[in-house]
Structure 1
Amino acid sequence: MSSPIVFIDGDQGTTGLQIHERLRNRTDIRLFTLPAADRKDPQRRAEAINACDIAILCLPDAAAREAANSITNPAVRVIDASSAHRTHPDWTYGFPEMTKGQSERIARARRVTNPGCYPTGAIGLLHPLVQAGLLPDHYPISIHAVSGYSGQGRAGVEKHEGPEAISAPAFQVYGLELAHKHTPEIQQHAGLAQRPIFVPAYGAFRQGIVLTVPLALRLLAPGVDGRVLHTCLSRHYAGMPHVSVLPLSESSALKHLDPQVLNGTNDMYLSVFQNEAHGQVLLSAVFDNLGKGASGAAVQNLDLMLTHQQ
């Protein structure tokens, strides 16, 4: 039996390049990308996607929808790394650790939508707590996250590493219109009844994310504190190799969070910080926006799908 063909559609951007790098030496698959002359030829792209076993779409949203719609071969399976299908009911959400049975659903799925980088951290923290009833679904959630400039794609990399790098901003908060495209994805998959406030930012480092969610204990049920929330997260992610919950003894000793500590991996660290005197808790997630937040997650989903290749 021949190895399955994996076609990367759009391997020139930051996510596509990293997926290609992670897969190029694999011997269990046949990796295929289009030559430069054919990348903008709709007919050639349609032929390529219908001739593969699994396609990984690393495209802008509109192009990803077009590529998905061009599939006529019912045997073709898809991983979409764009945000085009993340809230679509017919697509399986590609966060294996999100809930019990999700990895099996991904393995069997024909259409998988890769989570966004920021939503990976936010949903990773919030979904288990909402699911367990410890965090009310109507809680007024606010999320702050700082990503490396590669989160802007090639434009961000060029701005910070190109000829004009000296003038690139050291830090910038954006999404001030409170309409970031990741917010509906976070609300839906975290199980929130109302839209969270999401404030993203870019720092002058290439990749990595620190995401935080503050909570006021007075708005939670009596008896719910940082220790209870930590126990819930620890139980949810027990035995999962790519998501770790730092012990309270370790998180209480931390003085800062380094967004780059997991760069180059597909891992995510979750932490719970508590100030009992003030009745406040801070949830945090640290991971690589190009790893667990993008290409690493896509490869993880690919490996799950390969176990059920039909």
Structure 2
Amino acid sequence: MTAQVFIDGEVGTTGLQIRERLTGRDDITLISLPEDQRKDASARRDALAAADVAILCLPDDAAREAVTLCQGTDTRLIDASTAHRVDPDWVYGFPEMTAGQGAAVAGAARVSNPGCYSTAAIALLRPLRRAGVIGAEAPVSIFGISGYSGGGKGMIAEFDRGESEGSFIYATGQGHKHLPEIVRHGLLDNLPIFIPSVGQFAQGMVVQIPLHPGMFSGSMNDVHAALAQYYRAGFVSVRPLGDDPARELPQAVNGTNRLELSVLGDAATGRVVLSAVLDNLGKGASGAAVQNLNLMLGLPADTGL
């Protein structure tokens, strides 16, 4: 018997990517609404109720509305919006984040899909916090660049038409929507400085966190060891120390659900740069949603990925 899956918001960037990854699978039947019913509450309620799992690819308020529409049903939810990422009643959908997280996702009725920048930052920070390499009050700064596809249909159209003025930084007021989940799941006490940017490329991203001498205990080797020992399975991998690319390419793992971590810098002076490369539409969005869906359906995490 195949699982019934409804993507609420299937025509958005993330929804389209999820649909593409699920189309053709013989273990899943996709429920879809005609275009004129996609915003009709009654039609959405019926589709949500018919699904074993529904994936919400919606703005925050619409995602909250979808949860309300699901009341009284047995439908399990994966929410790709920001609405529930720090809600204690929802399981955070980063299976590699900590021991037992994959099992928690598998058994959950409500799963919040992480943000793309958050996935990278948490993957770098949490192991170092757990190992005591950095403290909860460390003055963390996070820098990153993402493809313009992360900005949704409007930004994609702007770049595709050649109307963009080029790469740019944003969220300079330090109110980026990913910060609360980075603080909570990165085990930080203080808000980090976060400077994201959009590049002149469609897809892929690099996220980097500099560690000045005095910000961490031990050596560069200890930093690398903490990460390498933490990730031994799943889609997260750690490059060997010294595997320092001439260029850290944001597009290096595009089209995959992989997240590659590196410890870069100068061991002699103790200046370290933590680096993460992922596909912002893969492990940063649709790939992560499919991985979580697989776990919730009792399937291998890499099915279709």
Band of TM-score, shorter chain? over 0.9
- Among 267, 287, 292, the alignment partner of 2:278 is 287
Structure 2: gaps spanning 5 or more residues = 300-305
Q: CA deviation at 1:122?
A: 0.2
Equivalent residue, structure 1, for 2:102: 103
Superposition TM-score, scaled by structure 1 size: 0.94
Query: Cα offset for 1:220?
Result: 2.3
Q: What residue in structure 1 maps to residue 207 of structure 2? A: 211
Deviation, structure 1 residue 249:
2.8
> 205, 225, 230: which is aligned to 1:231?
225
Question: Which residue of structure 2 aligns with residue 17 of structure 1?
Answer: 16
What is the rounded CA distance, in whole Å, between the counterparts of 2:187 and 2:77 in structure 1?
25
Give the letter aligned to residue 124 of structure 1. Answer: A
Find the counterpart in structure 2 of residue 276 from structure 1.
Answer: 267
Q: Deviation string for 1:38-82 (max 9, x for gaps)?
A: 001111101110111000000001000100111124421000011
Q: Deviations over 1:236-261 (max 9, x none)?
A: 11132x1110001312xx22100001
* Conservation of the 8 A alpha-carbon contact between 1:50 and 1:72: no
Q: How much does 1:275 deviate?
A: 1.1
Secondary structure of 2:242's partner?
Answer: helix
TM-aligned CA deviation for residue 100 of structure 1: 0.4
Q: How far apart, CA to CA, are the structure 1 residues paired with 2:56 and 2:165?
A: 31
5 Å matches for 1:10-89? 10-89=9-88
Decide whether the 8 Å contact of 1:175 with 1:200 is kept in 2.
yes
Q: 1:179 aligns with which of 175, 180, 186?
A: 175
Q: Does the 8 A contact of 1:169 with 1:204 survive in 2?
A: no
Structure 2: distance between partners of 1:205 and 1:84: 28
Structure 2 residue aligned with 1:159: 158
Q: Which residue of 1 aligns with 2:296?
A: 305
TM-score scaled by length of structure 2 = 0.96
Distance 1:17 1:181 in 2: 22
User: Corresponding residue for 1:137?
Assistant: 136
Distance 2:121 2:74 in 1: 33
Q: Alpha carbon RMSD of aligned pairs, Å?
A: 1.1
Deviation at 1:33, TM superposition (A): 1.7
3-state SS of 2:253 partner: coil
Q: Output the CA distance in 1 between the equivalents of 2:41 and 2:126.
A: 39
Aligned-partner Cα distance in 1 for 2:204–2:291: 18
Contact 1:175/1:199, CA 8 A, preserved across alignment: yes
Q: Residues 94-127 of structure 1: CA distance to partner in whole angstroms, max 9, x if unpaired?
A: 0000000000000000000000010000001001
Equivalent-residue separation in structure 1 for 2:52 and 2:221 (angstroms): 46
Whole-angstrom CA distance in 2 between matches of 1:4 and 1:128: 35
1:147-195 Cα deviation digits (max 9, x unpaired): 0000100011101113xx1x31221000011111111110011000111
- 1:249 alignment counterpart: 242
Helix, strand or coil at the partner of 2:214: helix
Contact persistence 2:242–2:264 (CA under 8 A): no
Distance 1:17 1:33 in 2: 12
Poorly superposed stretches of 4+, deviation over 4 Å: none
Q: Distance in 1 between matches of 2:72 and 2:50?
A: 8
Percent identity, aligned pairs only, is: 50
Which runs of 5 or more structure 1 residues have no equivalent in the other structure?
none
Measure, in 1, the Cα distance between the counterparts of 2:33 and 2:236.
34
Deviation at 1:279?
2.2
In structure 2, C-alpha distance between the alignment counterparts of 1:268 and 1:62, rounded to whole Å: 29
Give yes or no for contact 2:220–2:270 (8 Å, CA) kept in 1. Answer: no
2:238 is aligned with what amino acid? V
- Which one-letter code corresponds to 2:242 in the other structure? S
